[in-house]
């Protein structure tokens, strides 16, 4: 019989400590530099990071900010969304995608997702636009989400947006580093928001985010909005803004992390492929569109409802952590129930909430640990 002391060590779901080891003393040094410079806000690292982020994404401008949520909100503020405007959001996403819409007085309208990629369903978007018009709302913005790291189907979504005069705000909080038709996210819609929350593929050591755009005027307005709507200098306020800057310490950390990000993306891809090969016969493994490259923010299996919960329980008992993103679709959340939906039911989003389960996924998952996870999954599913 095994005793607690002989039980294998619990596996972290995302191992930020392993990444810190990989980065070595360099991160500590650059943080110390900021502390010694005392330029905690708007230090030179912020501008340097913005240049490197724009180059990485292939966009003309990158505007850093305080979080992924604020990145989304700043864009809606810059586009002057107002009451009566409709913003189309997937029903299967993290709440922040839709949360910012009521902030500017506009109405989120929930759209169903596709059963294979879990990303926004173009047919449901068409229905949602018609529904908004029927309700007397003005369709203004669509927010496709690059869920779990995989870019949404932009070949289908962009023409629909264009036909209806919608701006496209890409939420790549989970997808930064991924590509669609070999273009990095950040270079696809009218504007893109990302997050540097520590658990995202590119994370900092606190909260942070960024906006990407090719629109010079938009970039200018965003920079003003993140500094209280400042005009020629900080003593002139030309619009209602907020405090939404990325601080210098986080920019310094991100510069170090961005330098190894490509290497980490390759590792994530390798690990995802290993999972696919080992689990395709026991569960529905992630489907990646042939035009997309996922950055694997999550590695998510789909199982029949019921089997999923049993698997989570069995793995937990073996020290293998799992997560369920998401347990409820947005339109069933108490705070969002009153907002319109593309149709009476959004069946795919609703079903997925009972079927999905995410396994440990990060760039430093070694083969022995991954094999332990794979064996536990196969055992739990009776294979
Ligand atoms: C994490 C996340 C956000 C919000 O980012 P924060 O930096 O935590 O504010 C927005 N959208 C999606 C899809 C996310 O996963």
| Domains of the chain and CATH, by start | 18-259 (3.40.640.10), 261-380 (3.90.1150.10)
Q: What is the per-residue pLDDT for 5?
A: 53
Task: Give residue 383's pLDDT band: very low, low, confident or very high (50, 70, 90).
Answer: confident
Instruction: Determine the Cα angle at 210 with ends 300 and 97, to 5°.
Output: 50
Would you give the DSSP letter of residue 237?
Answer: B
Q: What is the per-residue pLDDT for 6?
A: 57
Nearest C-alpha to atom 1 of ligand 1 is from which residue? 173
Strands 107-111, 85-90: pairing is parallel
Instruction: Compute, in angstroms, the gap from residue 163 CA to the centroid of ligand 1.
Output: 28
CA distance to 106, 117, 142, per residue, from 98 (Å): 10, 20, 11
Do 252 and 30 touch, CB atoms closer than 8 A? yes
Cβ–ligand 1 distance for 179 under 6 Å, the answer no
CA 60, CA 321: separation in Å to the nearest integer?
40
Strands 138-142, 167-171: pairing is parallel
Cβ–ligand 1 distance for 358 under 6 Å, the answer no
Per cent of the chain over pLDDT 70 is 98
271: closest CA among 205, 360, 336, 195? Answer: 360
Cβ–ligand 1 distance for 171 under 6 Å, the answer yes
Cβ–ligand 1 distance for 67 under 6 Å, the answer yes
SS3 234: coil
Instruction: Compute, in angstroms, the gap from residue 71 CA to the centroid of ligand 1.
Output: 9
Q: What is the per-residue pLDDT for 9?
A: 77
Residue 270 pLDDT exceeds 60: yes
Q: What is the per-residue pLDDT for 265?
A: 98
Do 123 and 294 touch, CB atoms closer than 8 A? no
Q: Which two tokens stand for residue 76?
A: 């809606």
Region 138-167: mean pLDDT is 98
Region 296-318: mean pLDDT is 96
Cα separation of the two ends of the chain: 23
Residue 27 pLDDT exceeds 60: yes
CA 342, CA 345: separation in Å to the nearest integer?
8
Do 254 and 208 touch, CB atoms closer than 8 A? yes
Task: Give residue 2's pLDDT band: very low, low, confident or very high (50, 70, 90).
Answer: very low
Q: Give the DSSP H/E element, type plus range, for residue 68.
A: helix 68-78
- C-beta atoms surrounding 355 within 10 Å: 18
Residue 8 pLDDT exceeds 90: no
Cβ–ligand 1 distance for 119 under 6 Å, the answer no
Do 22 and 229 touch, CB atoms closer than 8 A? no
Region 217-245: mean pLDDT is 96
Task: Give residue 200's pLDDT band: very low, low, confident or very high (50, 70, 90).
Answer: very high
Instruction: Determine the Cα angle at 210 with ends 50 and 30, to 5°.
Output: 55
- Give me the helices (H) in 227-323, please: 248-259, 261-279, 307-317
Q: Dihedral (C-alpha) 352, 357, 363, 366: value to the nearest 10 degrees?
A: -150
Residue 26 pLDDT exceeds 80: yes
This prediction has a pTM of 0.97
Do 112 and 348 touch, CB atoms closer than 8 A? yes
Instruction: Determine the Cα angle at 83 with ends 80 and 84, to 5°.
Output: 110
SS3 89: strand
Furthest CA-CA distance within the chain: 72
Cβ–ligand 1 distance for 204 under 6 Å, the answer no
* Mean pLDDT of the chain, nearest integer: 96
Shortest-distance atom of ligand 1 to CA 200: 1
Q: How many residues does the chain have?
A: 383
Residue 184 pLDDT exceeds 90: yes
SS3 29: helix
Instruction: Compute, in angstroms, the gap from residue 2 CA to the centroid of ligand 1.
Output: 41
User: Pocket of ligand 1, candidates 64, 65, 66, 68: which has the most ligand atoms within 8 Å of its Cβ, to mutate?
Assistant: 68
Instruction: Compute, in angstroms, the gap from residue 203 CA to the centroid of ligand 1.
Output: 11
Region 227-249: mean pLDDT is 95
Lowest mean pLDDT among 6-20, 125-139, 349-363: 6-20
Task: Give residue 10's pLDDT band: very low, low, confident or very high (50, 70, 90).
Answer: confident
Q: Which residue's entry shows tokens 């990000």?
A: 261
Would you give the DSSP letter of residue 242?
Answer: -
Residues 6 or more apart whose Cβ sits within 8 Å of residue 185? 57, 146, 151, 170, 172, 175, 176, 177, 178, 179, 192, 194
Per-residue pLDDT tens over the stretch 64-99: 999 999 999 999 999 999 999 999 999 999 999 999
Q: What is the per-residue pLDDT for 3?
A: 47
């Amino acid at each position: 019989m095994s005793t607690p002391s002989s039980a294998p060590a619990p596996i972290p779901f995302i191992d930020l400590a392993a990444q810190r080891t990989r980065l070595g003393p360099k991160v500590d040094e650059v943080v110390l530099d900021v502390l010694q410079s005392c330029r905690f806000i708007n230090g030179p690292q912020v501008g340097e990071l913005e240049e490197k982020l724009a180059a990485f994404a292939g966009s003309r401008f990158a505007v850093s900010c305080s979080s992924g949520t604020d990145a989304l909100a700043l864009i809606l503020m810059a586009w002057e969304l107002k009451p009566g405007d409709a913003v189309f959001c997937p029903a299967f996403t993290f709440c922040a995608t839709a949360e910012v819409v009521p902030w500017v007085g506009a109405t989120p309208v929930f759209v169903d997702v596709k059963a294979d990629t879990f990303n926004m369903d173009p047919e449901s978007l068409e229905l949602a636009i018609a529904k908004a018009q029927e309700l007397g709302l003005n369709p203004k913005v669509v927010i496709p989400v690059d869920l779990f790291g995989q870019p949404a189907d932009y070949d289908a979504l962009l023409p629909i947006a264009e036909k209806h005069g919608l701006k496209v705000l890409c939420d790549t909080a989970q997808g930064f580093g991924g590509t669609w038709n070999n273009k990095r996210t950040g270079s696809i819609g009218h504007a893109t928001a990302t997050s540097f929350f520590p658990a995202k593929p590119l994370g900092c050591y606190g909260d942070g985010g960024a906006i990407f755009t090719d629109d010079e005027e938009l970039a200018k307005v965003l920079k003003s909005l993140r500094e209280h709507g400042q005009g020629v200098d900080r003593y002139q306020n030309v619009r209602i803004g907020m405090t939404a800057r990325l601080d210098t310490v986080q920019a310094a950390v991100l510069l170090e992390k961005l330098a190894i990000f490509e290497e980490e993306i390759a590792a994530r891809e390798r690990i995802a492929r290993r999972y696919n090969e080992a689990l395709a016969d026991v569960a529905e493994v992630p489907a990646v569109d042939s035009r997309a490259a996922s950055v694997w923010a999550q590695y998510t299996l789909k199982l029949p409802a019921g089997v999923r919960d049993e698997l989570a329980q069995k793995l937990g008992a073996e020290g293998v952590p799992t997560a369920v993103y998401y347990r409820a679709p947005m339109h069933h959340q108490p705070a969002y129930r009153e907002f319109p939906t593309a149709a009476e039911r959004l069946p795919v989003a609703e079903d997925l909430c009972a079927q999905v389960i995410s396994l440990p996924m990060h760039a430093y998952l070694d083969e022995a640990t991954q094999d332990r996870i794979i064996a536990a999954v196969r055992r739990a599913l009776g294979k």
